[in-house]
Amino acid sequence: MTETNGKSLISLENLKVHFNLGGGGILDKLTGGSPVPRVVKAVDGVTFDIKAGETLGLVGESGCGKSTLGKALLRLTPITSGKVFYNGKDLANSSEKEMREQRKHLQMIFQDPYASLNPRMTVGNIIGEPIRTFGLSDGGSVERKVQDLMETVGMSRRFIKRYPHEFSGGQRQRIGIARALAVDPEFIVADEPISALDVSIQAQIMNLMEDLQTQKNLTYLFISHDLRAIRHVADRVAVMYLGKIVELAGAKDIYAEPLMPYTKALISAVPVPDPEIESKRERIILTGDVPSPINPPTGCRFHTRCPFAIEDCKRIEPELVEIKPKHYAACIRISPENPYIEENV
């Protein structure tokens, strides 16, 4: 984990990404389709900053909108409303051409190293493509630069002519990282970069990403459903539920003292590799699944599964409030005066 100088590299202001599923038209009414428009509110009003040099962890269950948020940051999915500032420049309202220029600084690492590399391209071409596209070889040969990158991510430069299928999952993820690094970016969205990998390889990739961060002063948005991994790599953690950030705090604080019932449940659900602890611990088992993001629950979206929900939770949509210093949570049952929900019952 690196020192942050407190300057925001990325800021989101009320970012929304909605997907229209149709419905609500004349034909829908006549044919018995959905009489109201059906809209997936994948990201529904997210505001936060990512500071230069830090790793912000983003956790949540599948379908909560975390990947969509990551893509929207890089404009890889259309933004419905809101702003995304990178170094003070609003990406949400930039033209395609300006955006292309910015992608030199903003890169992404994908979850599935099997699907995110073109099987018909050699490693050299995969990593070399962004260098050629942006003309970044600085007069030297592209191949030379590719080989340097391969070494940076811990691969032998001899493999430059090989194809993705000749590599294991971990090696492929290294290729994906090298490709992202090829343009010398400042900011990388890593979307579940270790989920598809074996346990012993996960540690290698996490360490590699941390080393690169220190060497190249990178800023990461690290998206994962694995709370153990997030805890290890992140400086701060944002917890997402059905399109909204429900808690945001320093990594240590959020694990030591989660304030939101949802965060508590998430953390308590993670099995600990220690039979002594496992045999004693009491889990908070959430009932039911994540509700559908199409027409999500009113009020607090978590109220359908929350053990502490009261009538008001169904009506009032909670705001993200600074409950403790630099520790934000969105819950109407807690406040800076009464931060602990159990005591407010």
Partner 1 sequence: MNEKNGTILSVNDLKTYFQTEDGVVKAVDGITFELKRGETLGIVGESGSGKSVTNLSVMRLIPEPPGKIVNGDIIFDGVDVRKLSIEEVRKIRGKRMAMIFQDPMTSLNPYLKISTQLMEVTQLHLGHSKQQAYEHAVEMLRTVGIPAPENRIDNYPHEFSGGMRQRVMIAMALSCQPELLIADEPTTALDVTIQAQILELIKDLKKDLGTSVILITHDLGVVAGMTENIIVMYAGKVFESAPTKELFATPANPYTKGLLKSVPDPAHEEGKPLYQIPGLPPDVAHLPPGCPFAERCERAEDICEREFPPFVQINENHHSLCHFAKEVYAESINQGSTIS
Q: Whole-number minimum distance, CB 196 to partner 1, in Å?
A: 10
With H, G, I as helix, E, B as strand and everything else as coil, classify residue 297. coil
Q: Are 119 and 87 in contact (CB under 8 A)?
A: no
Task: Report phi then psi at 170, rounded to 5.
Answer: -65, -45
Q: Which stretch binds partner 1 (CB under 8 A): 8-16, 40-48, 79-87, 270-278?
A: 270-278
> For the chain, what is the radius of gyration of the CA atoms?
22
Q: In the range 224-253, which residues lie near partner 1 by CB under 8 A?
A: 225, 227-229, 231-232
Q: Taking every pair of C-alpha atoms in the chain, what is the biggest distance, in angstroms?
A: 67
Residue 282, token pair as written in the block: 């009491």
Q: Which one among 101, 151, 198, 312 touches partner 1, defined by CB under 8 A? A: 198
Cα torsion 227, 228, 233, 239 to 10°: value is 10
Q: Is 264 in the site for partner 1 (CB under 8 A)?
A: no
> How do beta strands 55-59 and 236-241 pair?
parallel
Is 274 an interacting residue with respect to partner 1 (CB under 8 A)? yes
Among 269, 294, 310, 316, binds partner 1 (CB under 8 A): 269
Closest distance of CB 136 from partner 1, Å: 30
Mark residues 148-187: x for contact with partner 1 by CB under 8 A, - for none: --------------------xxxx----------------
Q: Which CB sits closer to partner 1, 144 or 283?
A: 283
71 by Cβ neighbours in 10 Å (0-12 / 13-18 / 19+) ranks as: buried
Give the interface size with partner 1 as a residue count (CB under 8 A). 46
Tokens 């690094």, located at residue: 181
Interface residue with partner 1, options 56, 189, 249, 290 (CB under 8 A):
290
Establish if 26 lies at the interface with partner 1 (CB under 8 A): no
